[in-house]
């Protein structure tokens, strides 16, 4: 009779202590394989979909289906944090990632905004609005400079004064002139200043905020410029896109001031200095042309700079500070629209009944 060893049945029952002890899980690194896939090849969207699928699984089945579920969740959080720091952007081509990171630093105030922008940033659509506006303005300038018989290259002459685009106090009944004056400029320096500034600042803003928002701010500054000039400089003509340009500057400047403490010291100092130098030099030139130079054929108002800047300080701030929200659902946007319309109605009433140019 042989001696049998007692059969070990311990494998049939898992001790309760195994459940009570916290599992020590080593997070997978960038080279780890989970479910046969390399995580470095998965996009943010694919990881998000996988994480959502795991969340929908019952607790009892989740570990059976995906033993590495905890690692997946941890890896998703870790990659999100890298995205928020601007180190990952799967929605954009690799060649554009550095550009978008730079734009996030310059155009948005805080780390949270940087992460939201970088996660959805892409190169499409390109900044079409500001490019088209600049091309049209350059085209109109070249037309009056070359094909019209006058010396538009240096200063405003009769050819531009007779243009159907210029705002003239004696032709205020032609309402399109309150907008079309932005297409005509008073000389080479005038057109270059406006086009360079609106391309440098406007293209960067449009990549972040998209074209329809830039169009709202830009055109609100243009209309505010002509209406303001019709009240405070009522007998002077108006040309140039300075109203729209200063609306972009005003909106950007307000965001810099409001979020001053959240920005890097070097960036915020350079931004403030850049804006101040640009504004002071341009306004000084406009005042010089308006009051000091005596040999201009016609005087041109500079009030559009101020009125456009004020429009940007209000409308631009609201639009640029809510880049990740729908404008139609932002009550501040409707408040600005209401105030803007009220001011426009006051200006229209002034032009109809009180203007000395009547």
pLDDT over 70 (residue 138): yes
Write down the number of H helices and E strands in the chain.
16, 2
* Structure confidence by residue, pLDDT tens digits, 91-106: 556 667 777 777 776 6
Q: Is 305 one of the annotated active-site residues of the chain?
A: yes
Q: Which of 56-60, 102-106, 183-187, 217-221 has the highest mean pLDDT?
A: 217-221
Which residue ranges make up each domain of the chain?
34-120, 128-354
Residue where the block lists tokens 């109203």: 243
Judge whether 242 counts as a catalytic residue: yes
Instruction: Give me the catalytic one of 242, 301, 314, 321.
Output: 242
| Pick from 11-20, 156-165, 181-190: least confident | 11-20
From residue 123, how far is each of 79, 91, 199, 204, 241 by CA, in Å?
22, 9, 16, 12, 27
Domain covering 128-354: architecture: Up-down Bundle (1.20)
CA atoms within 13 A on the CB side of 353: 3
Q: Read off the pLDDT of residues 49-63 as tens digits, 9 standing for 90 and up.
A: 665 555 555 444 444
Mean pLDDT of all residues in 304-321: 91
pLDDT of residue 113: 66
At 94 the pLDDT is 62
Neighbouring CB atoms inside 10 A of 19's CB total: 8
Strands 37-38 and 33-34: antiparallel
Mean pLDDT of 277-297: 78
Cβ atoms 137, 127 nearer than 8 A: no
The answer to whether residue 312 scores a pLDDT higher than 60 is yes
Distance CA 322, CA 332 (A): 10
Instruction: Give the pLDDT band of residue 196 (cuts 50, 70, 90).
Output: very high
348 falls in which pLDDT band (50, 70, 90)? very high
Mean pLDDT of 212-229: 96
pLDDT at 42: 52
User: What is the structure's pLDDT at 223?
Assistant: 97
- Residue 310 has a pLDDT of 94
Among candidate residues 100, 114, 190, 305, the one labeled active-site is 305
pLDDT of residue 180: 96
What proportion of the chain, given as a percentage, has pLDDT over 70? 62
Using the Cα atoms of residue 288, residue 290, residue 292 and residue 298 in order, give the sign of their dihedral.
positive
What integer pLDDT is reported at residue 270 of this predicted model? Answer: 83
């Amino acid at each position: 009779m042989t001696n049998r060893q007692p059969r070990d049945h311990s494998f049939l029952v898992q001790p309760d202590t195994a459940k009570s002890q916290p599992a020590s899980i080593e997070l997978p690194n960038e080279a780890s394989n989970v479910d046969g896939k390399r995580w470095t090849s998965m996009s943010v969207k694919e990881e998000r979909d996988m994480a959502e699928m795991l969340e929908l699984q019952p607790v009892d089945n989740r570990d059976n289906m995906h033993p590495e579920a905890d690692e997946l969740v941890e890896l998703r959080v870790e990659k999100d944090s890298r995205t928020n720091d601007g180190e990952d952007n799967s929605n954009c081509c690799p060649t554009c990632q550095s550009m978008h990171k730079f734009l996030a630093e310059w155009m948005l105030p805080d780390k949270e905004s940087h992460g939201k922008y970088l996660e959805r940033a892409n190169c499409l659509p390109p900044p079409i609005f500001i490019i088209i506006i600049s091309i049209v303005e350059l085209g109109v300038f070249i037309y009056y400079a070359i094909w019209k018989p006058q010396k538009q290259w240096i200063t405003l002459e009769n050819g531009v004064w007779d243009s159907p685009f210029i705002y003239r106090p004696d032709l205020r009944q032609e309402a399109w002139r309150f907008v079309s004056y932005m297409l005509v400029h008073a000389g080479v320096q005038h057109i270059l200043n406006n086009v360079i500034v609106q391309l440098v600042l406007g293209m960067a803003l449009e990549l972040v905020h998209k074209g329809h928002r830039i169009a709202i701010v830009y055109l609100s500054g243009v209309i505010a410029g002509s209406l303001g000039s019709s009240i405070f400089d009522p007998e002077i003509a108006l040309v140039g896109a300075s109203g729209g340009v200063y609306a972009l500057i005003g909106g950007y400047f307000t965001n810099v001031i409001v979020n001053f403490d959240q920005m890097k010291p070097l960036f915020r100092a350079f931004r403030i200095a850049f804006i101040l130098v640009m504004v002071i030099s341009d306004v000084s030139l406009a005042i010089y042309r308006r009051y000091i130079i005596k040999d201009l054929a016609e005087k041109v108002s500079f009030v559009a700079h101020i009125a456009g800047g004020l429009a940007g300080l209000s409308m631009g701030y609201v639009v640029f500070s809510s880049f990740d929200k729908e404008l139609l659902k932002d009550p501040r946007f409707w408040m600005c629209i209401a105030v803007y319309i009220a001011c426009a109605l006051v200006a229209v009433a002034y032009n109809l009944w009180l203007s000395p140019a009547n």
